[in-house]
Structure 1
Amino acid sequence: MWRNIASNALTLFIVVLVAAAGFVAWAKSQFTAPGPLAQAICLEVEPGSSLVSVSGDLAERGAVAHPIIFRIGADYTDRADLLKAGSFLIPEGASNDEIVEIVTRGGQSTCGTEIVYRIGVTSQVLRVQELDPATGTFETREEFDPDTPDVPELYTQLRETAGTRYRVVLAEGATSWQIAEALRHVDFLEGEIAEVPPEGMLAPSNYAVRAGADRSELLQQMQVLQQERLAEVWESRQDDLPIETPEEALILASIIEKETGVPEERRQVASVFVNRLREGIRLQTDPTVIYGITNGEGVLGRGLRRSELDAETPYNTYAIAGLPPTPIANPGLESLRAAVDPAETNYTYFVADGSGGHAFAETLAEHNENVARWRALEAERGGE
């Protein structure tokens, strides 16, 4: 009798073990397999949320089939206590494992409504935008000048809402003075800016910030990134360039940035200036002259005068040989790369071609023909 009981108990134990093993294998496959979500969604995780509430929300929205499997998997992978608050994009078909990673890794939120402050060369814009998870594109809900007295109500509401996300987007080609002034005028940042950072040393990029972030700390973050970029490109520079230091590469990159807004032209423009430096020809570039007049404090807003082109100033590259003493703007990464890796050309001239780009030439005769075409096009447009 006891032998039968023991035998039955052993059989039952084996059955339980097999069933448990089967459940574990099934649960693991459910945790890592593609999920049931048919269309991407934005998942809001409020501060203080629990894994139970998040898994329930995911189940209601069709992102997970079994909330308990979601929680068990998060616990098994030691991420159950790492839940982060934010607004996160959950892509179509995301597995439980992928969703757990998204909501526990932290960092910048990837979805929902946000306030973006874009600092450009000629203007600054505050924008309230929202990501459409279905298309993966942002839709602008409000856009306005930060100095306007007529602030949209939506912006005011978001400013008063805890957890609102903010980004500062710095465009290529703005001067350090313009950037510092723009940061002084936005209301979601705090702290004083004691002095304007060195010209050229603020990296154009996309910066996630929090409400109340310190302005000086943000500027320091921009400087660190630019220093890293400059060091990186300098290490990969071409041999025998007519620039001897990273600082000179930064100056050249700033001129390239101001001379062309066409990405494909950067290395060609760089080649013109490198060829001129090699041959001892003056750079003769208007943006440096303009910087010498404005000191980077705003836009000139008019054409250059003959007297300004003739004046011998440190930034008048019609009058001086070589590079100006400092950068004339904050160049982006691609202009930095172009400065140390110019295209192999014989170009020594370029002029606007009327399409937003430039016509390049090897000789003065070719250049004069390009200039004549450009002036004819300007005259034609002026008569329209």
Structure 2
Amino acid sequence: MRGALRFFLVLIVTGALLLAVAGLLAYQAYEGEGPVKEETVVLIDRGSGVRSIAAELKEQQVIDDALVFQVAARLTGKAGRLQAGEYEFPPGTSLREVLDKLESGDFVVRQVTIPEGRTSYEVVALLEGIEVLEGDIPELPPEGSLLPETYHYQWGDTRQALIERMQQDMQALVQELWPERIDGLPLETPEEAITLASIVEKETAVASERPMVASVFINRLRRDMPLQSDPTVIYSLTDGKGPLDRELTRKDWEVEDPYNTYYVNGLPPGPIANPGRESLEAVLDPAETDYIYFVADGTGGHAFAQSLDEHNRNVRNWRRIRDGEDE
């Protein structure tokens, strides 16, 4: 009798020890360092079940055992809450961390920067080149309707949704800045401000110059002088589909096109690009100057002038620099 009791006690103790060991191993498998050795990005397709998710993670060496993953997902109640998406797993990610990430939808967040002064055609082409975005952009957005900025997106976002965010941001910016404009501007609508800002954007990449460049065009509009902006000529020649693959000529200035501000007085019928915040601010609050001319100065900036004689001197100086005659 005592022998039988002793036997059962041994069985109980042994079973308890085995359970303890199994529990410890399970805990280590769940909480311990995972097999992934370097940052690994895994894409979980829509409609994937726990079995296919486990297989993909095992193939990418994020987990050691697909069956263990499935068991852990079901025991923790996470199996039905794992989300499709693009995930990044750092080295040593544990099984628990993998499940938590997939359950919470801690997706990889990407970003795209839309440079100031790109045309809508160029912005659409940029988005079309991003493979993880989905869908087409059914029609070209109106020129000047997109705010150049850095935008975040995830796998599965649509290109059209990103375009709509850019448009909403531009509308919000204009609604913010238009009421703060200075008095007496020769601009009647926010759309005219965007048009002029797009010209300023294309004329200079030097942020500190934009209020000066804006003042030149504002002064010309007030005096009913043609704007004579080369970027508007380029836009009329290319339809905004990219840079001109040659130098402008005097003959180009004579092109009969409403966007050619050598050919028409005043503003063109619409923007020639998508301007950024700084160009819009410059147009709505330009520098106070009497300048009506400017030309490149050879340093990346521009030389400004109040008279034609002064401007011609600046032009001659620029040509000497351009032709390598300046010491």
- Give yes or no for TM over 0.5: yes
Q: CA deviation at 1:163?
A: 3.0
Aligned to 1:223: 167
Partner of 2:250: 306
Asked if 1:353 is matched to 2:284, the reply is no
1:252 pairs, out of 183, 192, 196, with 196
- Whole-angstrom CA distance in 1 between matches of 2:249 and 2:309: 25
Aligned-residue sequence identity (percent) comes to 53
Secondary structure, counterpart of 2:211 in structure 1: helix
Residue correspondence of structure 1 range 316-355 to structure 2 within 5 A: 316-355=260-299
1:380 aligned counterpart, secondary structure: coil
Matched residues in 1 for 2:249 and 2:151: separation? 39
Deviations 1:114-160 (A, max 9, x none): xxxxxxxxxxxxxxxxxxxxxxxxxxxxxxxxxxxxxxxxxxxxxxx
Q: Distance in 2 between matches of 1:165 and 1:210?
A: 5
Q: Give the distance between the partners of 1:306 and 1:284, measured in 2 at CA.
A: 12
Q: Please, which runs of 5 or more residues in structure 1 have no aligned partner?
A: 1-111, 114-161
Verify: 1:362 aligned to 2:306, yes or no: yes
Letter in 1 for 2:231: P
Q: Deviations over 1:293-312 (max 9, x none)?
A: 11111111211133221122
Displacement of 1:371 in angstroms is: 0.3
Quick one: distance in 2 between partners of 1:378 and 1:168? 35
For residue 250 of structure 1, report the CA deviation from its aligned partner: 0.3
Q: 1:186 offset after TM fit, Å?
A: 1.3
CA distance, structure 1, for counterparts of residue 173 and residue 109 of structure 2: 26
Structure 2: distance between partners of 1:316 and 1:170: 26
**4+ residue runs over 3 A deviation:** none
Give the TM-score normalised by structure 1. Answer: 0.57
Query: 2:288 is aligned with what amino acid?
Result: E
CA distance in 2, matches of 1:259, 1:192: 32
Is residue 233 of structure 2 the alignment partner of residue 289 of structure 1?
A: yes
User: What code does the residue aligned with 2:154 have?
Assistant: R
Within a 5 Å distance, the mapping from 1:1-384 to structure 2 comes to: 163-380=107-324
Distance 1:225 1:371 in 2: 39
- Larger % of strand: which? 1
The alpha-carbon deviation at position 255 of structure 1 amounts to: 0.3
- Higher relative contact order, chain-length normalized (CA < 8 Å, sep 6+): 2
Counterpart of 2:110 in 1: which secondary structure?
strand
**Count of aligned residue pairs for this structure pair:** 230
Please list the CA deviations of residues 215-250 of structure 1 after superposition, one character each: whole Å capped at 9, or x if unmatched.
Answer: 001000000000111111111011110110000000
Counterparts of 2:110 and 2:263, CA distance in 1 = 45
Q: State the 1:205 CA deviation.
A: 0.7
Cα shift readout 1:164-186 (whole Å, capped 9, x = no counterpart): 22001111010001001111121
Structure with the higher helix share, 1 or 2 = 2
RMSD, matched Cα: 2.6
Question: What CA distance in whole angstroms lies between the structure 1 residues aligned with 2:107 and 2:174?
Answer: 34
> Could you tell me how far apart the structure 1 residues matched to 2:252 and 2:321 are?
25
Structure showing greater radius of gyration is: 2
TM-score by length of 2: 0.67
